[in-house]
Structure 1
Amino acid sequence: MYFNEEKVKAIGTRFEGGKLAKKVHKSIEQLKRHDPDVEVSSEPTQFLLVSNSSILCSVTLEELEEIFIPLDEKAEFIVYPNKRSYSFVQCSSIEAAQTVRQELHGLIPPQLKISHQPFIISFVCNLPEAKKCEMFRPADLKLVEDYVSENLENDLVELLTNHSKVQSLKHRAVVHFGHVFDYNTNSASEWKEAEPIPPVIEALVDRLISDKYITERPDQITANVYEPGHGIPSHYDTHSAFDDPIISISLLSDVVMEFKDGANSARIAPVLLKARSLCLIQGESRYRWKHGIVNRKYDVDPRTNRVVPRKTRVSLTLRKIRQKPCECQWKEFCDWDRKGEMSVPSSEDLAMKLENSYVSNVYENIASHFDETRHSSWKAVKKFIDEIPRGSLMYDVGCGNGKYLIPKDGLFKIGCDMCLGLCEIATKKDCHVARCDALSLPFRDTSADAAISIAVLHHIATFERRKRMIEELLRVVKRGGMICVTVWSMDQSQSEYAKMRSNKDEVNEEIKNTDRLKIHDGKDFQQQDVLVPWTMDQKGETFLRYYHVFREGEAEQLVESVDGCKLVSIEKEQGNYIIVIRKI
């Protein structure tokens, strides 16, 4: 088929011939890997597989609608929030599907704002089977469908939508009962009363207690009215402000609530809240997971991946104001610092306790998985080692799985690590390893020609202890000996992982350090002392490692505070500072 220049500009770029055939083959192979229950059809059907059309490919649902609806106004979509490069389109008839494929197959539609990949379209016999909703729920979350009758729904909606004290917020309208919810502190004060709780809601509370979903009466009620397209930002209901559980009643419309694991922001659980359902956000789902509703006019049903338009929705949130400090087991996610236990350490004892819990113990648990993921060397570190005269003795302090000890490069190398599991792994690789603390090395004074310490210093919790580690490295090398130390940089913008992060915003230059340790969410660092998640691939367990990430200029200040050494160089490599110093 031939297209003149004017028509090509109007409809976009089209692929044809052998190149298109290769893309079709690749598309079908991807389908077999991810959705083996879907069968490709050699005959036209009303079901279409459309490759290069997913959110993963930067194609939005709005763009899909703009492209497909003019060709079939009754087309329905099955889309994937992640992990798929394709979508499915269910056309209103086989004839409509044939027209759609004829118009769009091999084409890069001009409506696409970001993607520049052609749509590769194949007929399929069937669509993916619905999935079990349980796959998407965080632990302890409880859903009860049809908990509210239609009559009660009508009574509640009439009360809430026509109430005289309804307030308008940015993305929704709200009204409070019992006590006012303070959006600045995400809490409620028992001294700041709101409208009395209406009898119809009190009767609902009586039933919740009778059904043993709760044991105490909520005293803070928030009603929200959401118009299509409106949502609420991802958040925790403040630990110290409210008891467990948080109760949510959905009215009028289904909605998908997204739960995000506080220890792994890439782990998202979309949960369908059906109209007239009860949702108990309790236990782990309350204390560890954030929850929110994305601002958009549609939802993707997590069971079927079908796109569902939103309608006006009313929700009722019932909370009990907490009277004593939170003592939940998810202390890392809690705003109550447990008498300083979760604060940035200010003393030697607290620093040692923190390092033991969130460095030493963690590495013992992840040692095997760590070994599976750590093989490549930093270029600057390899260059440093290559410049050490052959026949020299080099110490590797914090040697991990021994990756810098293994190469046969003409050096005598001895490693050490605090983690017994990593020491055992390195020993099995024929490395010479001792188990010890980096602040108390078992080596004689001036016994080595050089030393390296890769990704260790940032696990040390106070300035004085970091200074002592540098002094200990200097102690064990000869005069004139060279030392290479690496630490994480606060600015990760040049890291190869930066493009993989979900946050595309510019680096926040105004960093706000707090006294409270926070969990790093995989985006830009917001403070220097953080707990960084490590997720085990197979088991799915998540461990939190303590890091002190370095500001620009901080490494120089640390080296300058130590006597008997000279800073040779500091360079940046993939979000790490590579620090080289000489003993003088």
Structure 2
Amino acid sequence: MEIDCNSQRSQKLSKTEKKLRQKQMKARHTLLKHEGIECVSYPTESLVVANGGLGNGVNRRQLLCVVEECGPVEALLMPPNKPYSFVRYGTIEDSKRAYDSLNGKEILSEDCSQNVVLYLSFVGKVSWEDMAPTALPPGLRVIEELVSPEEERELLESINWTEDEVISNAQRSLKHRRVKHFGYEFQYDNNNVDRDRPLPGGLPDICNTLLAKCLEMGYIKHKPDQLTINQYEPGQGIPSHIDTHSAFEDEIISLSLGAEIVMDFKHPDGCAAAIMLPQRSLLVMTGESRYLWTHGITPRKFDVVQASKGQNIGTVTADIGDLTLSKRGRRTSFTFRKVRRSPCNCSYPSVCDSQHKDTAPMFPANEREASMLEEKFVHEVYEEIARHFSSTRHSPWPRVVEFLRALPCGAIVADVGCGNGKYLGVSPNLYMFGCDRSKNLVDICGVKGFQAFVCDVLSVPIRSGSCDACISIAVIHHFSTAERRLASLRELVRLLRPGGKALVYVWAMEQEYNKQKSKYLKEKRACKGKVEEIDTSAMKAADDNDCQGSVDPNEDVSQYKGRCCNVTQVAHSNLPVHTNRTSFDSQDLLVPWHLKDGTKQKAGHANSHLASPADSHTLSPVFHRYYHVFCEGELEQACKALDGIKVQKSYYDQGNWCVVLEKL
């Protein structure tokens, strides 16, 4: 009997080791595929620790304590916002000991929300040249300790958050972040102020000393007349944006009180800088940093910061790898601006609304205009291009398939905005149905034998709480206001039962992220001055999410080389038109679709604009679809404005921002 028991224990251990080895190999594959980190099969002094990174809630001090159990550590390198780390031991023996004893070890994440399982692999030489700290954007300054702790306390105590205020409809969406305005009310519906309607009382008197110091020190040239006070609880943020050029003068200053925070700056070319704003510091934005770079705060409860000397992290030093997690506190910002009285004449006309009045307004002013814009540049277009669109949509996205196949057998799944239904037949173990605003696309689903019906995504005629899961792939970016995009997310959540999950994909503003170019951008066409006539009969319409973020693998993209879509205007629209296979210059734009359906149509179609001179010829039309492309963190921020949900996962997938939501 004792022999049998030992045999069973040995067999059980063997199964455990086999399972651990499989997960370890999966972690290696993921690191190589998504991060370019190649593991080696032989022992070295250096190890990569998958799952053990700042990006998934593991603190530097916490990980250091674990890896030091196996021997003296020469370096612990933790890249910002990455779910892995590198550890280097003094000897190969210590490294092998860590490999053998720490693989599969569970530790608790910093916020105690989950257990994290570590998977270690040997790596060769680790280069940190590409992770050097980014310099401040031009024109940006951070002045530390501008006010004393006593002045900070007085400023915070001066805010009366309890007084009654008139809250506009636009501000109701800010219910999760407290906001107050002085001097002029900032209008969130058009990102501007009404110069003819100043608020009574002007700026609080308590700010006079602070502003006088800023003028004296040369941080500002003119005394501000508008103040916005924001209070951020841990986990809250603000989407990336540029303060409207025509609304305010060059200098914008923001005082951080109560807690430190990291603010993310991004250049249109994809360059990014995460800037720490210490408590009681002043941020000064002028010139390029004010007019060209977007700035925002990613909603999270921990920031990646430089480990201070005061923290007991041992003698391990690794230059820029000396990073750790800092828990956010309640931060209150005082942002001062000077209202502009004349048009902006900055050196950045491509993003200046004063110098592009022919393209303003960029956003619908109300629900009626939003509905009309979407009807013309979304619904009507998809009805026209449905057959051609469907012919280019036959390859399901791998990570969407992964989400669906991970659902339990018999799960009821709604594909909201199902298009031609390419996901409806992914798994025979699921009960899937689809819905779409386009009747012609729904008819195609019917021909394929799928269950689908026509409806508006904002009002799905399905009982609340009846679905185990929902997917919304390349749909929400077609809504033209933040309120309508939020309403579409709210409708997805309504369909879910408690514990149900939703997967959402939207186009990303960042078509190059973490050195990962979308396949769409990799295949961008070169325009060399002379506009060639485009033979649309020889082109495939590779403009949708399957190719904006990632070209359909069955599509021959070589046929685009040397061609150029040089459309710059569309009749009856003030929106910019995107040049296909280039980076985005605007978040709200029209994207051309070159129709190929075997028919020819005369130039001047009501909803198209030809890409080349028509003369007396007839050409296949070019249709234009409206898109709002999302900046990093914007989709997560919208999701976190919903009640009763948890963002389980967020990631970037070949030109798309993606989230997995769970209904609590």
TM-score (ref. length: structure 1) = 0.51
The yes-or-no answer on 1:326 pairing with 2:435 is: no
State the match for 1:474 in structure 2. none
Instruction: For 1:176 and 1:9, locate their aligned partners in 2 and report how far apart those are by CA, in whole Å.
Output: 63
The yes-or-no answer on 1:207 pairing with 2:205 is: no
Q: Per-residue deviation at 1:490?
A: 3.3
Q: Per-residue deviation at 1:338?
A: 3.5
The yes-or-no answer on 1:61 pairing with 2:64 is: no
State the match for 2:324 in structure 1. 306
The yes-or-no answer on 1:219 pairing with 2:225 is: yes
Q: Give the 5 Å matches for 1:396-435.
A: 419=528
State the match for 1:87 in structure 2. 85
User: Conserved in 2, the CA contact under 8 Å of 1:259 and 1:292?
Assistant: yes
Q: Per-residue deviation at 1:301?
A: 2.0
Q: Show CA shifts across 1:73-130 (max 9, x none).
A: 999x964356x6732589xxxxxx999866541679999x9xx997116799999899
Code of the aligned partner of 2:142: L
Helix, strand or coil at the partner of 2:185: strand
State the match for 1:581 in structure 2. none
User: Conserved in 2, the CA contact under 8 Å of 1:78 and 1:306?
Assistant: no
Instruction: For 1:161 and 1:333, locate their aligned partners in 2 and report how far apart those are by CA, in whole Å.
Output: 36
State the match for 1:356 in structure 2. none
Instruction: For 1:337 and 1:515, locate their aligned partners in 2 and report how far apart those are by CA, in whole Å.
Output: 18
Helix, strand or coil at the partner of 2:326: strand
Q: 1:189 aligns with which of 190, 194, 205?
A: 194
Q: Per-residue deviation at 1:334?
A: 2.0
Greater Cα shift, 185-194 or 285-294: 185-194
Instruction: For 1:161 and 1:124, locate their aligned partners in 2 and report how far apart those are by CA, in whole Å.
Output: 58
Q: Which has the larger radius of gyration?
A: 1
Instruction: For 2:68 and 2:201, locate their aligned partners in 1 and report how far apart those are by CA, in whole Å.
Output: 46
State the match for 2:140 in structure 1. 141
Q: 2:333 aligns with which of 315, 333, 357?
A: 315
State the match for 2:282 in structure 1. 278
User: Conserved in 1, the CA contact under 8 Å of 2:67 and 2:98?
Assistant: no
Q: Per-residue deviation at 1:183?
A: 1.8
User: Conserved in 1, the CA contact under 8 Å of 2:232 and 2:330?
Assistant: yes
User: Conserved in 1, the CA contact under 8 Å of 2:48 and 2:84?
Assistant: yes
Q: Per-residue deviation at 1:5?
A: 7.7
Q: 2:271 aligns with which of 263, 267, 272?
A: 267
Helix, strand or coil at the partner of 1:280: strand
Q: 2:244 aligns with which of 234, 238, 242?
A: 238
State the match for 2:592 in structure 1. 550
Instruction: For 1:553 and 1:418, locate their aligned partners in 2 and report how far apart those are by CA, in whole Å.
Output: 21
State the match for 1:228 in structure 2. 234
Instruction: For 1:9 and 1:136, locate their aligned partners in 2 and report how far apart those are by CA, in whole Å.
Output: 50
Structure 2: give runs of 5+ residues left out of the alignment.
Answer: 1-5, 70-75, 89-94, 307-319, 363-525, 554-569, 604-613, 621-653, 656-664
Q: Per-residue deviation at 1:159?
A: 1.3
Instruction: For 1:316 and 1:139, locate their aligned partners in 2 and report how far apart those are by CA, in whole Å.
Output: 22
Q: 1:175 aligns with which of 163, 166, 180?
A: 180
The yes-or-no answer on 1:493 pairing with 2:546 is: yes
State the match for 1:152 in structure 2. 151
State the match for 2:624 in structure 1. none
Q: Show CA shifts across 1:514-557 (max 9, x none).
A: 84454xxxxxxxxxx1257968xxxxxx999xx98433647767
Q: Per-residue deviation at 1:16?
A: 8.8
Q: 2:20 aligns with which of 5, 10, 14?
A: 14
Instruction: For 2:305 and 2:552, locate their aligned partners in 1 and report how far apart those are by CA, in whole Å.
Output: 28
Helix, strand or coil at the partner of 1:15: helix
User: Conserved in 2, the CA contact under 8 Å of 1:12 and 1:108?
Assistant: no
Q: Per-residue deviation at 1:211?
A: 1.1
Instruction: For 2:303 and 2:552, locate their aligned partners in 1 and report how far apart those are by CA, in whole Å.
Output: 26
Fraction of identical pairs, as percent: 28
Cα 1:549–1:73 change in 2 (3 A) is same
Q: Show CA shifts across 1:277-321 (max 9, x none).
A: 111122111211111111110001276432111111111100111
Instruction: For 2:130 and 2:147, locate their aligned partners in 1 and report how far apart those are by CA, in whole Å.
Output: 26
Helix, strand or coil at the partner of 2:79: coil
Q: Show CA shifts across 1:166-196 (max 9, x none).
A: 8883332122222222222222223141553
State the match for 1:450 in structure 2. none
User: Conserved in 2, the CA contact under 8 Å of 1:249 and 1:276?
Assistant: yes
State the match for 1:105 in structure 2. 103
How many residue pairs get aligned? The number is: 385
User: Conserved in 1, the CA contact under 8 Å of 2:145 and 2:280?
Assistant: yes
Helix, strand or coil at the partner of 1:155: helix
User: Conserved in 2, the CA contact under 8 Å of 1:172 and 1:224?
Assistant: yes
Q: Per-residue deviation at 1:239?
A: 1.2
Query: Please, what is the CA RMSD of the aligned residues?
Result: 5.9
Q: Per-residue deviation at 1:335?
A: 2.4
Code of the aligned partner of 1:551: W
Q: Show CA shifts across 1:341-395 (max 9, x none).
A: 8999xxxxxxxxxxxxxxxxxxxxxxxxxxxxxxxxxxxxxxxxxxxxxxxxxxx
Code of the aligned partner of 2:157: E
Q: Per-residue deviation at 1:147?
A: 1.6
Helix, strand or coil at the partner of 2:299: coil
Q: Show CA shifts across 1:214-247 (max 9, x none).
A: 1111111011111111111111111111111111
Helix, strand or coil at the partner of 2:194: strand
Helix, strand or coil at the partner of 2:159: helix
Q: Show CA shifts across 1:440-494 (max 9, x none).
A: xxxxxxxxxxxxxxxxx4xxxxxxxxxxxx6xxxxxxxxxxxx964376431424
State the match for 1:447 in structure 2. none
Cα 1:124–1:338 change in 2 (3 A) is closer
Instruction: For 2:84 and 2:592, locate their aligned partners in 1 and report how far apart those are by CA, in whole Å.
Output: 41
Cα 1:514–1:286 change in 2 (3 A) is farther
